Homo-oligomer: A and B are copies of this chain.
Amino acid sequence: MRATVMYEAGDVRVENVPDPKIERPTDALVTITAACICGSDLWPYGKMPASDGPARMGHELIGVVQETGSEVATVKKGDLVVAPFAVSDGTCEFCREGLQTSCVNGLFWDSDKNAGCQAEAIRVPHADGTLVKLPVAVDSVLIPSMLTLSDVFGTGYHAAVVGGVRRGSKVTVIGDGAVGLLAVLSAKRLGAEQIVLMGRHTERTDLGREFGATDVVAERGEEGVERVRELSGGHGSHVVLEAVGNMPAYQQAVGVVRPGGVISRVGVPQYEEAPVGFGSLFGPNVRLAGGPAPVRAYIEELLPPVLDGSIEPGKVFDATTDLDGVPNGYQDMADRKTLKVLVKP
Contacts and interface: CB of A to CB of B under 8 A. Distances in A.
Interface string A255-287: 000011000010011011111111111111111
Given A102-B259, A285-B292, A292-B285, A274 B271 contact: no
Interface of A: 93-94, 97, 99, 101-102, 162, 235, 259-260, 265, 268-269, 271-292, 294
Contact of A162 (B93, B271, B287, B288): B287
A282 B277 contact: no
Nearest to A99: B260
Contact of A276 (B259, B272, B287, B292): B272
A271 B275 CA distance: 9
Contact of A97 (B101, B260, B272, B287): B260
Determine the main DSSP class of A at the interface with B.
Answer: mixed
A78 to B, nearest CB: 35
A260 B94 contact: yes
Contacts of A268: 278, 282
A162 B271 CA distance: 26
Given A99-B260, A102-B260, A286 B291 contact: yes
A259 B99 contact: yes
The 5 closest A-B pairs by CB, nearest first: A285-B291, A272-B277, A102-B259, A288-B288, A269-B277
A259 B290 contact: no
Contacts of A93: 235
A276 to B, nearest CB: 5
